[in-house]
Amino acid sequence: MSRLILVLGDQLTETIAALREADRKTDIVVMAEVADEASYVQHHPKKIALIFAAMRKFAARLRDDGWDVRYTQLDDTENTGSIPGELLRRAEETGATEVFATEPGEWRLIEALNDAPLKIKQLEDDRFIATHAEFQDWAKGRKQLRMEYFYRDMRRKTGLLMDGDDPVGGKWNFDHDNRKPAPDEVDFGGPMQFTPDETVEEVLDLVESRFGNSFGQLRPFWFATEPGQAKRALSHFIRHALPKFGDFQDAMLDDNRFLYHAVISPYITLGLLDPLEVCREAEKAYENGDAPINAVEGFIRQIIGWREYIRGIYFREGPDYVSRNALKHKRDLPAFYWGEKTRMRCVAKAVEQTEAEAYAHHIQRLMVTGNFGLLAGIDPAQLHEWYLRVYIDAFEWVEAPNTIGMSQFADDGIIASKPYISSGNYIDKMSDHCKSCDYKVKVKTGDGACPFNLLYWHFLHRHRGKFEGNPRMGNMYGTWDRMTEDKRDTILREAEDFLARMEKGEIV
Ligand code: FAD
Ligand code: DLZ
């Protein structure tokens, strides 16, 4: 009796657990473009296009390899609109009674498969360095789950940048060297871009007709949609950008959307690139003397450290994680997150490129849109939905801990030991945005005062009870307390006024 083998849109790896379990002579692969997945949030059109194009090409490769693949396109008339629905339909069609799936990266879909009236076995997705059990073991009994210690275990496990038991270069972490302000010129032309082929063009037409009204520009579309292309994009990054990745990792520029970033997160998460192979390629660049240790260590840490740790937190904390709101923030997401006008240049620039590219790099997400949301007291659930909608690499297991935990402190400090907040000074130091902003970053109060400055103190003041005892925040409260009462009152009044005008929908 044949079995059904489910492959989801972010499981496009030939060696994925469910396919390894299958027998290509008798089992049937099920893949489906379905309305439920394409609309559980209103995804950026580029994200849907990437997933559908990569799915279609993956199905073609499986067929070439001799698999029987039942593939449903979004506009097929029999399409039931959901993954469980498609499994049921294919079970009736083939007589199969058993399904093998690789565990989805989202509680919503894990539960939907558990609830489906079919015998579905969900196998752990082992395209990661750490298993669920390993993360649980590591976390057990620890008061604090700091990424840094988990990361060291992943270095030991993989042997990446290890010299016996010691870290190569004598230190585990070279982050201290990785905070250079924006360079005057960037000698990297950005990620490798690919001209859409026939399959991609077909998908673009479909997405345009079905999702053309969503936030985000579909064209030009240049992402890699197959492993060969993704590998070329990785080599291009390693050769031309990795050497400076570390130095300028936190920098932002008005006229450069990618700086020295890799833009490979969607490729890794969809399954077009293997995370360990990516790290080995970066390590090779260090060993060959082509990239310095601060760049290579920083890059590898993002993948075997942050990415793995974030996943561990998502699955450890459970389905309610996305609705946590430790700071009780309730303000609605302002319209400028959807491209309406704002006078804050850094925010306008981050949103503009998000709309165009479905991409912004980490510091834009964390220290511009995330920082503003946190300072202004925006409801973290609304921010979570925003991040899930607008980025090409946004899947809940990776997006939610970054937003709810790292960026918004809504998990009460599981991920971040203190809130990631900054005044305008940080943005000014790391970018060239402030030079052409309507607001003046050096102006603390009164006409033209930068809202990040006002809201920074407003945040600290309104959450004093929670944070003044935090050893990493004592200096901030010290500075606040040393201001005259008059100055503090002015700052708080102007911050309140800003928030009230923002809530009224005025251009701020
Ligand atoms: P690079 O800066 O070149 O880094 C290399 C790789 O490291 C990335 O491709 C990615 O695979 C990994 N990585 C780096 N930082 C993280 C991190 N914090 N968590 C997980 N992986 C990381 N990343 C996503 O992949 N999907 C998301 O939905 C997502 N949402 C985010 C939301 C917020 C509020 C914040 C602050 C960060 C979010 N990130 C997310 C993390 C990070 O911003 C992106 O991984 C990164 O910008 C992707 O671009 P890149 O490939 O150029 O990364
Ligand atoms: C994100 C997404 C979209 C837009 N569409 C599909 C789809 O039509 N079919 C599919 O199998 N997967 C899709 N995905 C990816 C799933 O939503 C993803 O597997 C879950 O969110 C778990 O990570």
Q: In what order do the strands lie in the sheet with 4-6?
A: 68-72, 28-32, 4-6, 98-102, 119-123
C-alpha 457 – ligand 2 centre gap (Å): 41
**Which residues line the pocket of ligand 1, CB cutoff 6 A?**
261-265, 268-269, 299, 302-303, 306-307, 310, 361-362, 365-366, 370, 387, 391, 393-394, 398-399, 402-403, 406-407
- pLDDT value for 382: 98
Per-position DSSP letters for 446-474, written without gaps between them: STTB-HHHHHHHHHHHHTHHHHTT-TTTH
Q: Is residue 429 included in any domain, yes or no?
A: yes
CA dist 362 and 51 (Å) reads 22
C-alpha 306 to ligand 1 mean position (Å): 8
Give the pLDDT confidence of 91-121 residue by residue, as tens digits. Answer: 999 999 999 999 999 999 999 999 999 999 9
44 domain residue, yes or no: yes
Query: 472, 301 in Cβ contact below 8 A?
Result: no
Shared-domain flag, residues 248 and 372: no
**What's 61's domain CATH number?**
3.40.50.620
Which ligand lies nearest the alpha carbon of 302? Answer: 1
Which ligand has the minimum distance to the alpha carbon of residue 45? 2
Reported as a single tens digit per residue, the pLDDT across 276-333 is: 999 999 999 999 999 999 999 999 999 999 999 999 999 999 999 999 999 999 999 9
223, 270, 302, best to mutate for ligand 1 pocket (most atoms within 8 Å of CB): 302
pLDDT score of 182: 84
ipTM: 0.99
The ligand whose atoms approach the alpha carbon of 233 most closely is 1
The enclosing domain of 493 has a CATH number of: 1.10.579.10
Q: Which two tokens stand for residue 142?
A: 């620890």
Q: Which two tokens stand for residue 68?
A: 């029987």
What's the predicted TM-score (pTM) here?
0.98
Task: Determine whether the shortest distance from the Cβ of 109 to ligand 2 is under 6 A.
Answer: yes
pLDDT of residue 184: 87
Residues 178 and 111 reside in one and the same domain: no
Single out the residue of 103, 102, 147, 155 nearest to residue 129, CA to CA. 155
**Are 114 and 172 members of one domain?**
no
> Whose CA is closest to atom 11 on ligand 2?
8
Share of the chain above pLDDT 70, in %: 100
Burial of 224 (0-12, 13-18, 19+ CB in 10 A): buried
| Mean local confidence (pLDDT), 253-261 | 96
- Inter-helix orientation angle 275-287/227-240, to 10°: 30
pLDDT, mean over the chain: 97
Pair 32, 157 in one domain: no
Q: Which residue range(s) make up the domain with 431?
A: 335-503
φ/ψ (deg, to 5) at 220:
-70, 145
Residue 1 pLDDT > 80, yes or no? no
Q: Is residue 422 part of a domain?
A: yes
Query: Considering only CA atoms, which residue is closest to atom 6 of ligand 2?
Result: 37
The verdict on 136 and 119 lying in the same domain is no
Ligand 2 centroid to Cα of residue 48, in Å, is 9
Last residue of a domain, one of 123, 157, 175: 123
Query: Given the CA of residue 47, which atom of ligand 2 is nearest to it?
Result: 4
Q: What is the pLDDT of residue 476?
A: 96
Residues in the chain: 508
Q: In this structure, are 308 and 252 located in the same domain?
A: yes
177: pLDDT confidence band, cut at 50, 70 and 90? confident
Q: Could you say which ligand is closest to the alpha carbon of residue 282?
A: 1
Residues 382, 466 within the same domain: yes
Domain check: are 103 and 80 in the same one? yes
Report how far apart, in Å, the C-alpha atoms of 413 and of each of 12, 144, 284, 292 are: 34, 9, 36, 33
Same domain flag for 19 and 160: no
CA–CA gap between residue 71 and residue 30 (Å, rounded): 6
Answer yes or no: is pLDDT of 370 > 80. yes
94 and 184 belong to one structural domain? no
User: Taking residues 393-418, what's their average pLDDT?
Assistant: 98
Q: Using CA of residue 141, residue 142, residue 148, residue 152, what is the dihedral sign?
A: negative
Query: Do 95 and 77 belong together in one domain?
Result: yes
DSSP string, 151-212: HHHHHHHH-TTEETTEEGGG-S--GGG--PPPPS------S------HHHHHHHHHHHHHHT
pLDDT at 356: 98
**394 C-alpha to center of ligand 1: Å?**
9
Instruction: DSSP letter for 271, please.
Output: T
Asked if residue 426 and residue 310 are part of one domain, the reply reads: no
Share of the chain above pLDDT 90, in %: 98
Residues 432-491: tens digit of each pLDDT:
999 999 999 999 999 999 999 999 999 999 999 999 999 999 999 999 999 999 999 999
CA 210 / ligand 2 centre spacing (Å) = 16
Identify the burial level of 225 via C-beta atoms within 10 angstroms of its C-beta, where 0-12 means exposed, 13-18 middle and 19 or more buried. Answer: buried
Upstream peptide bond of 220 is cis (omega within 30 degrees of 0): yes
Residue 278 to residue 287: CA distance in whole angstroms: 15
349 part of a folded domain: yes
pLDDT in tens, 125-158: 999 999 999 999 999 999 999 999 999 999 999 9
For residue 31, the ligand 2 atom closest to its alpha carbon is 11
**Residue 36: enclosing H or E segment and its boundaries?**
helix 35-39
Q: Which of 10, 127, 265 to probe ligand 1 with, by most ligand atoms within 8 A of CB? A: 265
For the chain, the domain total comes to 3
What pLDDT was estimated at residue 179? Answer: 83
